[in-house]
């Protein structure tokens, strides 16, 4: 009987997590949709894709000094919806769902400069892992960026600097053919 209760409790938690994921990724209320954002043409997602999530990122862009100048090392960010962590963003760049373990790795295909911030970018998926939120993502956009710019001036080799940034990340999947 105890095992049945544990299984039932586990299923209930899984069901609540699944329901929470749907609510967490719906672009409503506190999460803007790209239709409400001004997206430069150069970083718009091609036709044939539909948006599945808009998540707000808070993190750092880490730079490392080599040969006396700063170079980009990696991003580290938590992407949230309504204050709930949904995705981790790290070197690759890769995004990994903390809800279901799915992930997407992508490469930049276009960028748009932002005054006093890292650029907005359009990235195309190069690899996906697992079923779930990110398992079929085709494009990722980084929009509404603040901060994250590389340090300036002289530096000592091997030193790193992590610069805070924020952004909205949108995730897209291919629209099913009718």
Tokens of 144: 């509404």
**What burial class does residue 145 get, using C-beta atoms within 10 Å of its C-beta: 0-12 exposed, 13-18 middle, 19+ buried?**
buried
Beta bridge partner(s), residue 118: none
Say if residue 4's pLDDT is above 90. no
Range of the domain at 117: 2-174
For 22-50, what is each residue's pLDDT tens digit?
333 443 334 455 545 689 999 999 999 99
**pLDDT band at residue 21, thresholds of 50, 70 and 90?**
very low
What one-character DSSP code corresponds to residue 163? E
CA torsion sign for 16, 99, 58, 138 is negative
Q: Which of 13-27, 55-69, 77-91, 130-144 has the lowest mean pLDDT?
A: 13-27
| Number of domains, the chain | 1
The pLDDT of 1-13, averaged and rounded, is: 35
Q: How far apart are CA 95 and CA 80, in angstroms?
A: 12
177 pLDDT tier (thresholds 50, 70, 90): confident
Burial of 47 (0-12, 13-18, 19+ CB in 10 A): exposed
Pairing mode, strands 69-81 and 160-174? unpaired
Task: Decide: residue 125, CB within 10 A, 0-12 exposed, 13-18 middle, 19+ buried.
Answer: buried
Spatial separation of the C-alpha atoms in residues 144 and 22, rounded to whole Å: 23
Share of the chain above pLDDT 90, in %: 77
More confident: 9 or 97: 97
Q: Looking at residue 14, what is its pLDDT?
A: 35
pLDDT band of 129, cuts 50, 70, 90: very high
CB distance 120 to 40 below 8 Å: yes
Higher pLDDT, 95 or 5: 95
Structure confidence at residue 72 (pLDDT): 98
> Which strand (E) or helix (H) includes residue 20?
helix 2-25
């Amino acid at each position: 009987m105890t095992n049945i209760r544990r299984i039932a409790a586990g299923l209930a938690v899984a069901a609540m997590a699944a329901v929470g994921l749907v609510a967490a990724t719906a672009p409503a209320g506190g999460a803007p949709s790209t239709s409400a954002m001004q997206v430069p043409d150069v970083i718009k997602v091609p036709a044939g894709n539909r948006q599945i999530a808009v998540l707000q990122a808070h993190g750092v862009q880490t730079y490392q000094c080599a040969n006396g100048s700063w170079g980009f090392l990696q991003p580290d960010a938590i992407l949230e919806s309504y204050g709930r962590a949904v995705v981790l963003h790290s070197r690759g760049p890769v995004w990994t769902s903390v809800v279901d373990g799915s992930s997407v790795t992508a490469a930049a295909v276009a960028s748009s400069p932002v005054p006093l911030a890292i650029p907005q970018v359009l990235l195309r998926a190069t690899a996906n892992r697992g079923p779930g939120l990110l398992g079929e993502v085709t494009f990722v956009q980084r929009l509404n960026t603040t901060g994250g710019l590389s340090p300036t001036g002289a530096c000592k080799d091997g030193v790193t600097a992590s610069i805070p940034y924020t952004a909205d990340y949108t995730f897209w999947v291919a629209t099913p053919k009718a």
